[in-house]
Structures are given as structure tokens and as C-alpha cells.
Amino acid sequence: MEEVRQELRSLHPDDSQIVVLKNGVWRIKGIIQVSRSIGDAYLKKQEFALDPSMTRFHLSEPLRRPVLTSEPSIYTRVLHSQDSFFIFASDGLWEHLTNQQAVEIVHNNPREGIARRLVKAALKEAARKREMKYNDIKKLEKGVRRFFHDDITVVVVFIDHELLQYGDESTPEISVRGFVDSGGPSSFSGLNGIS
């Protein structure tokens, strides 16, 4: 987002490489697409950035100050009766699917296994971009797969407006069962195409 790039440039005026266009994608320090992250400590603290035992996370020059933050961007929206779900997903999903594609997948398929279906759609697109078959990308070992696609985590939350009307103790408790997939380990989209 241009707004985020400008924010980073203003926070790091002495760093011409704070935001770099790499392979058609804007990346902080040429490495990561997101500016807010729970992890990625090597882009937040100098002692992690200079650890030579972690070559994958080693920066070529020392950090003068953090380039990422854990502080989230928060957007609010009033729910409407036509809103039926949220899609919470890591940037690995959005690298391969647009908001609209993800919303259409959720809207046009059964609830059961919908997060897995989104992960599969993203992996199919990652394979297509690499001129591979989906089954071939799934066969790659985790360490190798990282070069073909980012980690992908998806949670879909459905909104039951009838339950929302009660708003008292008569509302049943709802539980969510997750799954482990080799797609790997959040960005927000959904609500009938709103992101």
C-alpha cells in the first residue's frame, strides 16, 4: 500500500532501501511484504538481525531501528444483514488470491472444510505461476516449498445473524475445530468482498 510505503520512508529517511520493489512486489528491506508482524524479530531487534547462525534471517547491514512493528492496523465496519463471513488469513493466501476470489470460494461452497479449500486454491495458483502441477508442489519438502510459496494460514468465521439477535444467555456456545496442513502458518478480508 502506498500509504504504508510513505509511512516507512518517513520513519527511515536515511535508508534508501527501506522499501524495495522486488519481482513486482513491494518489500521492506527487499525481504518481507508486511509492515506489521507478530514474529520476524530479526526485523525488530538488532541482536536478532546480526545472529550469523541464522543465515536466512541475517541482514547485510545492522538495523538502526526496527523496520517492522507488532502494532496492528485496525479497521472497523458495522455489520450488515448481508454480511455472512470474515476471512482471516496470512499474506501467503493473498499473494495468490484476490479478495474477490476468496470471497467467491467461501460464498459458493459448503462451510465444511472451507479454510482448507482456500489454502488449496492458493496452492494451485502458486503451482500454476511456477508452471507446476498442484500435486508436484504438495510433494516438495517444507524447506524447499518455502521458495515456491509463503506460509498460508486461513480462518473463516461465519456470522449467524439469528444468534446475534438474541444477545443473551440463550445463545449457544460455538466451537471451532482447526486442522494442520502442510500449507503452513494474519491479514484480513471477507464480509462479502470487503477487505
Domain count, the chain: 2
Q: Are residues 97 and 186 in the same domain?
A: yes
69 located within any domain: no
Q: Are residues 47 and 118 in the same domain?
A: no
Q: What end-to-end distance do the CA atoms of the chain give, in Å?
A: 13
* Spatial CA neighbour of 156 closest among 106, 121, 90, 98: 106
Rounded distance between C-alpha atoms, residue 162 and residue 46, angstroms: 50
Amino acid at 38: I
pTM: predicted TM-score of the whole model, two decimal places: 0.66
32 located within any domain: yes
Q: Are residues 114 and 179 in the same domain?
A: yes
171 located within any domain: yes
Lowest-confidence segment of 105-114, 132-141, 185-194 by average pLDDT: 185-194
Lowest-confidence segment of 113-122, 138-147, 171-180 by average pLDDT: 171-180
Residue partners of 28: CB distance under 8 A and separation at least 6: 8, 18, 19, 34, 35, 43, 67, 68
Residue numbers of the domain that contains 46: 2-57
Q: Which residue has the higher pLDDT, 33 or 102?
A: 102
Q: Are residues 136 and 178 in the same domain?
A: yes
Q: Are residues 175 and 90 in the same domain?
A: yes
Rounded distance between C-alpha atoms, residue 33 and residue 43, angstroms: 12
pLDDT at 72: 83
pLDDT, tens digit (0-9, with 9 covering 90-100), for 130-161 = 888 888 888 888 777 777 777 888 999 999 87
pLDDT at 112: 95
pLDDT at 181: 42
- Would the pLDDT of 68 be above 60? yes
73 located within any domain: no
User: How many CB atoms lie under 10 A from the CB of residue 194?
Assistant: 14
40 located within any domain: yes
pLDDT at 187: 34
Q: Are residues 107 and 170 in the same domain?
A: yes
In eight-state DSSP terms, residue 160 is: -
